[in-house]
Structure 1
Amino acid sequence: MNTHAKKRTLAAGAACAVAAGLLVAPATASAAPITVDPATTAVVNLLHFNDFHGRLDRTQTVQFAGTVEQLRADYPDSSLLLSGGDNIGASNFTSASQDDEPSIEVLNALEVDAAAVGNHEFDRGVDDLTGRVDALADFPYLSANVTLDGAPIGPAYETFEVDGITVGVIGAVTEQTPSLVDGAGIVGVEFGDPVEAVNAVAAELTDGDPANGEADVIVAEIHEGSQIQLATNAPQAEQQAALGADAAAGGPFGEIVTGLSADVDVIFNAHTHRTYSWLAPVPGVAGATRPVVQSNEYSNLVGQVVLAVDRESGDVSVEALTNHARTTASVDSLVAAHPRAAAVQTIVDAAVEQAAVIGNVEVGTISGPITVPALSNGNRGEESTAAQLVANMYRDQLADEGRGGADIGVVNPGGVRDSLLYAATEPEAQDGIVRLAEANTMLPFINNLWTITMTGAELDELLEQQWQRTADGTPLTSGRTYLQLGLSDNVTYVSDPSRAFDDRVSDIRIDGEPVAADQEIRVASASFLMGVNGGTPGDNFWAFAEGTDERDSGLVDLDALLAYLGDNPGLAPDYSVRHVDVVGLPDAPVAEGAALSLEVSQIDRIRSLGAEVSAAVEVVDAAGAVIGTGAVEIVADATGAPLSTTAQVELVATAPGATGAEATEQTYTLRAENGTAIPFEVTVVPAAEPEAPGGGHPVFGDEHPVHGDDHPGRGFDRGSHPVFGDDHQGKGKGGKGDPRAV
């Protein structure tokens, strides 16, 4: 066995192609095989997919199988098929309605060699993974960084003999898994540092002690990755610029790229559903690179890394590095050419037929499309019509005191996985039909629905936590740094992302009324997000842990959605938004008649299907007078697609009904053509009366509340204020004493 430091090189021909940015997907899945002297050189053909999520489809799943078979064909005796995890969970109805068993059968038929555990493998708890799922799978699930009560839940690695050499595959899952699954199912489970765990195993596999099991090539399958969006097989210079910067920024991806031992020859990623095939620098080995690959999602791509290994020296060179698009060849041709593809077709056909019986029942109707952003759950930083529907459903189905007495509903964006499309699809006879399969795909997790009591201050804290942070409050700087909660339509608020962390949310209202800091609010949500029964709140929304009086409604999310659809035939998409970003709101009182300039954004749900851009927004005061307007502009994302809308609003402060010179809280409302109405407050000093001869100034007199000790300001108490006195209720959140609170 090779026990000395290995050299990593890129084969000369491939090196030239990479330098020129020419490594692109070929027209067919299979590229020309490399030619080596088999006496001196071994070949390892590594095939990878990630985040399959039980996406079973009569055409695409067979084409996925055909792509794998085409890529195996050139190396029939030296290929390994590996999965990055999330094979199951958040699945489409065909798979989910049958407990994902057909998906595992498909992967068995494809003869997957090994898979890393993904966070979704824990959706139904660790016992389901180590009992039912492991028993169904013909391949090992690898979990180097996961323990239960201190003991490994399964194997950390597997070794394979490939063309006369030993390949070690090590699997690990994101350390963030506890915030991504229901805590009740992972009691006693610890998710350690994946880099530390993989390095420990890699050291054992290369320490020269045969008792540990030795490996000539080491592959890391880590269910974690970058959030960078890149075109498939982008030029290496482009990938180096983008991914290199992301790795340098730190975070989980940076730790993988810069922290994994040089003993690891190939790194496969997953979890973030991104696409890259990067030759990344190897830490501590000058000039050396190694592949870091992620292959999108849902079997859209198959990654391929072809290695040539010198049998004597152990030196490893990368001969091919490509993400291959799923073939578009016909199902019939693929089935005829590839026995494994034929086996996959048989499994999928049976699963689809069974799901059709279960899922084609009509469960409701809609009058327009109700969708997640851009018809995908990929962007979780936007409001959507689908998330609002689910939040409304939570509130309405749990509003009865016997179900928990919910006042509002809250849903995390990742909890709403798909859309309800209006146009008819088979077997629907007309537009607007919602079938059981569609409803399940929208909410596939089977979460119990709970209510919890939160104070206004805790609700404010929850909304601040949309800017993501760790449990100790450290802001996340990579990955999904912002998650947009879906809120029921009786909640509005204003946010200002330009302000300091934890000081961005204000003007929270429920049913149009300002929320007080000590006000008690019954919140309805899913068990995952709340982290009930002593679990950890999901998606880093730690404020739920501060709530009280948890109550299980006895409903699971899908059953509640079916009841809601039954109660509300003809549901329409609501294109109004629950919040807007407003930059420029004054912290200090302003004089009546003062000109204000506000930058307003997130005005339209532009990426929910059917949404239209508002032409303008306006601000009205409490008397109904329009006091400001602004034209709406579209902001595009990095690809040039419409992403959000913004407007520069110029207004003049008014104080209708105010008398005297005392500062008053004036409620203004920002309105848009999509039906949005967001109230916010500005402290206004009415126009001053002329100064009385010999008397105090009517605005700045000795006892005036604006500059005196008891001025009520815009938000929570910051403590002693250098301008407004010790008890000023400023926009910060120290004392949380403002009667209108948030």
Structure 2
Amino acid sequence: MRRWNRRAAAVGTAFTLALGQLIISSPAAQAADPVTLNLLTINDFHGRIDTNTVKFAGTVEGLRQGDGASGANTLLIGAGDFIGASLFASSVQQDQPTIDVMNELGLDVSAVGNHEFDQGWADLRDRVIGPAGTPNAQWDYLGANVYDSTTGQPVLPEYATYQVGGVTVGVIGAVTVETPTLVSPDGVSSLKFGDPVTAINRVADQLTDGDPANGEAQILVASFHEGAPQGGQTLDQNVAASPAFAEIVNDVSPKVAAIVTGHTHQAYAFQAPVPGDPSRTRPIVQTGSYGANVGQIKLTVDRDTDTVTGSTVANVPRVGTADATLLAQYPARLTPIKATVDAALAVANQRGNVPVGSITADITTAYTPATPPDGVNRCVAGAGRDDRASESTLGNLVANALLAQLKDRDRGGAEIAVVNPGGLRSDLCFAANTASWSEDGPGLVMYGEANAVLPFANDLFVTSLTGAQFKTALEQQWQRDAAGNIPTRPYLQLGLSDNVTYTFDPSAPEGSRITSVTIDDRPLDPAKTYRIGSFSFLLQGGDNFRIFTAGTDTKDSGLVDRDAWIDYLKANPGLAPDFARHAVKVTNQPTIAAAGATVTFDVAGLDLTSLGAPANSSLEAALLPIGGGAPAAKEAFAVSGGAARVEFDVPAQIAAGAWNLVLTATPSGTTVTIPLTITATSSVTLTADRSSQVYGAANPLTLTATVVTSDAGAAGSVEFRTGSTVLASVPVVGGQAAFTLPSSTPAGPYPIVAHYTGAGGVPPADSAAVTVTVTPAGSVTVLAPALVVPFLGTILVGAVGLNNGQPARGSVEIRDNGGVVGSTAVQSHGLFVFLAPRPARGQHSYTATFVPGDPANITGSTSNPVVVRR
């Protein structure tokens, strides 16, 4: 699709005729002198109609008139987002003041940005761009990758060509493919957004194919509303961090001589290798945002060969020169611009100079350092707002405001409120830093300032998600588009109402980075349904939070975000920033711990970067029952740089079950809850009152098992075991169980273990083995003096005694001079009587040897000798 600049078409025709006449009348062709093209760039202006607008315009005009040809070699190129997310002075008039300023500044061409679609495609086409004969925006808005979803044809001009310094310059424009996720989907439902690099390359081939019928250009410039991500410093770092930017750097056709970028609000000026020819480079620039810089690319062009022989690229900061001085220097451009700005500020003063609330200190988005100041959007000069990857006091405050306005049943019954960071376009500054609202004073919030925070006028919706789906929404802060690609901003930090906190581990696998969520001091219930309130943009799946489209029972509250926000400010004067974080990074987060154990993990990111946020110095960990109550234990840990190592000792005596380990940072008050399941513990100690006993003795030894459990008052029983044999099972009473070894226990060693069987969730436990020994009972045999009976024999009488106090059982063997002469049974009371045969003449020595009936447990013994002479 070919489109010539509307203002330059007639001039281009005249130039062509004159050039032809010059060629005819020239006696001989001569080499053309090289020319330096002065390409000035702007991106992401976002309706910054304020006290800096004239200075911004003066910066542009100074660079234009300084090109050595009084501006004839200059082309002013944009990269989108001139309107949308604007300051009150512009937004209150639907950004018409911004359109007027850009017309008066002489903007030539721009890629369309996603914010140009904020009010829908019809509004951009019919109002912003306007009719072909009487355009509103008098520059060329380009979108080579924006197609009609039915026909597949481009709906915007793909390119425009300009005569600059005698060179035909073709500018091709494209917008981020993420646009449908960044605006209300309904407003762009008839459009399809293709790959921007593919579209740029397609048109670049068309403009260099030698066919004048489809457009030709000598030098090509690509304008992308897409760019490098936040955080990268070098070209290589940005390429590595963003697939979208890597595609721009590495895949844009080498036919393109320079690349202008936007969208990501980053300021950079790179010379990047030309694909296929690393010996050459081409400039790539983005100016940051809000007119803080003007990009300048200078291309030295050999007009005989249509090649770029040299280039420079830089960002030129907005001048600080007084407006009066700039007006005197550049009256033709700046006088109408000053009039437009003054008129817009007057309307804003009239409509916005009404107090709607008050604050006690700055309440801001997250800040990054070393960004140039930006008027009303900078509470502190030199500090840069709008770090969308970080939590902020403003994001959480707006979420609280939404929850307060949407919690009534009639408004949808919201239980949680969520805010996307890109919806916050300005800060609430305690000290007035602009003359836009003359009555503004320290702490007073005017209507215009409040509106600047939420300028989109989104409807407020409420929908239902399960707990599992809400956790998915938090997981989707790590961004992927519908095709599975990581977008330019790979992470977006949601603002949340105060009743929601969570922990996360960014090193965990995708989809598992949210490690715990607490809602209203209770762990998230995955199966429970929660009512979520937010902007219609977000609940329709904006910013790649597609899970919200799965919500059920979605209700339009009937409120517009601006009105609900301002009503909240009116109802809550004297608002103070809350520096408590809702999201805390925890690595190695525990989920289960045994009573008496030490849990160790690391906490980071405790300090907010919103203005005024204190540096935390300590972190208290308190173990609390679910639902509240006195802590079972508390410990404090030092914080440095927002990080702390926690080594928390779980009490040895504590009820098993679900607990909350609550972390509270001082002085911010950041409080986050880690659900912790505590498992009960038990231990058994076994002792014996002595190490041995005599078999059959009347006083057997006793073994005592002492059971200690994490739950007070151990129940259950103890099994006294030796090997696989259970000697006894004894109930635990008062933490102890005693077992007396039976006196009938056979002799031998017994390694005994006390096994606690567990009870009520308390696990079993075993003691160390205690070895006790049963020794055999000893015996004593006594033989009384013999009685010799003539003609009959010798009567021997004796007794056997045992050392266990029991009567002896068994027999005795009688020996005469060592030889057995007979045996007799041991009678009751251990007595025995034996009639020995009549002895032969001589001396006889008699002994009695006890032979126990249970020789394994009772030892035998031999009596004293009894001597008889005959």
Fold in common (TM above 0.5): yes
Aligned to 1:126: 121
Q: Which runs of 5+ in 1 are unaligned?
A: 1-36, 231-238, 532-536, 635-644, 708-742
Residue 206 of structure 2 corresponds to residue 204 of structure 1? yes
Match runs of 1:247-326 below 5 Å = 247-248=239-240, 251-326=243-318
Q: Per-residue deviation at 1:626? A: 3.9
In 2, the alpha carbon distance for the partners of 1:381 and 1:271 equals: 15
- 2:443 corresponds to: 432
Whether contact under 8 Å (2:463, 2:553) holds in the other structure is: yes
**Letter paired with 1:55:** R
Q: Select 2:599's aligned residue among 596, 601, 613.
A: 596
Partner of 1:348: 341
- Matched to 1:440, the amino acid is N
1:539 counterpart residue number: 543
- Aligned partners of 2:85 and 2:455 also within 8 Å: yes
Aligned-pair distance for 1:564? 0.8
- Please say if residues 662 and 673 of structure 2, whose CA atoms lie closer than 8 Å, have aligned partners that are also in contact: yes
- The one-character-per-residue Cα deviations of 1:171-201 (angstroms, maximum 9, x if unpaired) are 1001111111111111121110000000000
- What is the CA distance between 1:603 and its match in structure 2? 1.8
Distance 1:141 1:620 in 2: 59
Name the counterpart of 2:83: 88
1:449 paired with 2:453, answer no
Kindly indicate whether the alpha-carbon contact (under 8 Å) linking 1:453 and 1:549 is maintained by their aligned counterparts in 2: yes
Aligned position for 2:47: 54
State how far apart, in whole Å, the 1-side matches of 2:643 and 2:282 are: 43
State the Cα distance separating 1:319 from its structure 2 match: 4.0
How far apart are residue 294 of structure 1 and its match?
A: 0.9
Moved over 6 A (4+): 695-707
Question: Aligned to 2:527, what secondary structure does the other structure show?
Answer: coil
- The 3-state SS of whatever aligns with 2:639 is strand
1:28 alignment counterpart: none
> C-alpha distance in 2, partners of 1:688/1:648?
29
Counting only pairs closer than 5 Å after superposition, residues 552-571 of structure 1 correspond to structure 2 as 552-571=556-575
1:705 is displaced (CA, Å) by: 9.4
The equivalent position to 1:329 in structure 2, one of 321, 327, 334, is 321
Aligned with 1:510 (options 511, 516, 519): 519
Distance 1:611 1:699, change over 3 A: farther
* Equivalent position of 2:790 in the other structure: none
Residue aligning to 1:667: 660
1:408 maps onto 2:416 in alignment = yes
Give me the whole-angstrom Cα distance separating, in 1, the residues matched to 2:421 and 2:505.
20
Q: Report whether the alignment pairs 1:527 with 2:536.
A: yes
Shift of 1:109: 0.3
2:360 paired with 1:367:
yes
Matched with 2:638 is 631
Give the count of matched residue pairs: 637
The alpha-carbon distance between structure 1 residues 700 and 306, as it changes in their structure 2 partners (threshold 3 A), is: farther
Following the alignment from structure 1 to structure 2, what is the Cα–Cα distance between the partners of residues 274 and 429?
Answer: 31
Instruction: Answer whether contact 1:110 1:344 (CA < 8 A) is retained.
Output: yes
After superposition, give the CA deviation of every residue in 1:286-308 in whole Å (9 maximum; x if it has no partner).
Answer: 41111111111111111111222
Q: What's the CA shift for 1:703? A: 11
How far did 1:358 drift? 0.6
TM superposition shift of 1:373: 1.3
Distance 1:505 1:250 in 2: 23
Cα distance in 2 for partners of 1:112, 1:618 equals 57
Superposition pairs of residues 466-481 of structure 1, within 5 angstroms: 466-471=477-482, 474=484, 476=486, 479-481=488-490
Q: Residue type of the partner of 1:388?
A: N
What do the CA deviations read for 1:6-30 (whole angstroms, capped 9, x no partner)?
A: xxxxxxxxxxxxxxxxxxxxxxxxx
- Counterpart of 2:537, as a letter, is F
Larger C-alpha radius of gyration, 1 or 2? Answer: 2
Q: Is the 8 A contact 1:621 1:654 kept in 2?
A: no
Counterpart residue identity of residue 171, structure 1: G
Structure 1 CA distance for aligned equivalents of residues 289 and 440 of structure 2: 31
> Structure 1 residues 169 and 581 mapped into 2: Cα distance closer, same or farther (>3 Å)?
same
Residue-by-residue CA offset, 1:289-345 (whole Å, 9 max, x unaligned):
111111111111111112222222112123432211112222112111211012211
Q: What is the one-letter code of the residue matched to 2:256?
A: V
SS at 2:277's partner residue?
coil
The structural deviation recorded for 1:479 is 3.1
Are the structure 2 counterparts of residues 249 and 372 from structure 1 closer, same or farther at C-alpha, using a change threshold of 3 Å? Answer: closer
Distance 1:245 1:365, change over 3 A: closer
Q: 1 CA distance for matches of 2:664 and 2:168?
A: 66
Q: CA deviation at 1:609?
A: 2.0
CA–CA distance in structure 1, aligned partners of residues 251 and 311 of structure 2: 24
Matched residues in 2 for 1:377 and 1:698: separation?
A: 65
- Alpha-carbon offset, residue 581 of structure 1: 1.5
Query: Contact between 1:228 and 1:243, CA under 8 Å: does it hold in 2?
Result: no
Q: Write 1 or 2 for the structure with the bigger share of strand.
A: 2
Q: Alpha-carbon deviation of 1:706?
A: 8.5
Q: Choose 243-252 or 71-80, whichever is displaced more.
A: 243-252
Q: 1:595 to 1:320 in 2, by over 3 A?
A: same
Is the 1:377–1:417 Cα contact (8 Å) retained in structure 2? no
Residues 428 and 646 of structure 1: CA distance in aligned 2, closer, same or farther (over 3 Å) = farther
Q: Which amino acid aligns with 2:139?
A: F
- Which residue identity lines up with residue 54 of structure 1 in the other structure? G
Which position in structure 1 is the counterpart of 2:166? Answer: 164
What is the Cα deviation at residue 699 of structure 1? Answer: 9.0
TM-score by length of 1: 0.82
User: What residue number does 1:391 align with?
Assistant: 399
Q: Percent identity?
A: 44
Structure having greater relative contact order (Cα 8 Å, sep ≥ 6)? 1
Q: Which moved more, 1:281-290 or 1:313-322?
A: 313-322
SS of 1:564 mapped into structure 2: helix
Looking at structure 2, the residues matched to 610 and 107 of structure 1 have their Cα atoms a distance apart, in angstroms, of 36
Pair 1:185 & 2:194 matched:
no
- The residue that corresponds to 2:104 in the other structure is 109
Deviations 1:463-496, CA, capped at 9 Å, x for gaps: 1111222335x472x6322211110011122222
> How many Å separate the matches in 2 of 1:146 and 1:475?
19
Match of 1:676 in 2: 670
- Whole-Å Cα distance in 1 between the matches of residues 400 and 544 of structure 2? 22
Equivalent position amino acid for 2:639 in 1:
V
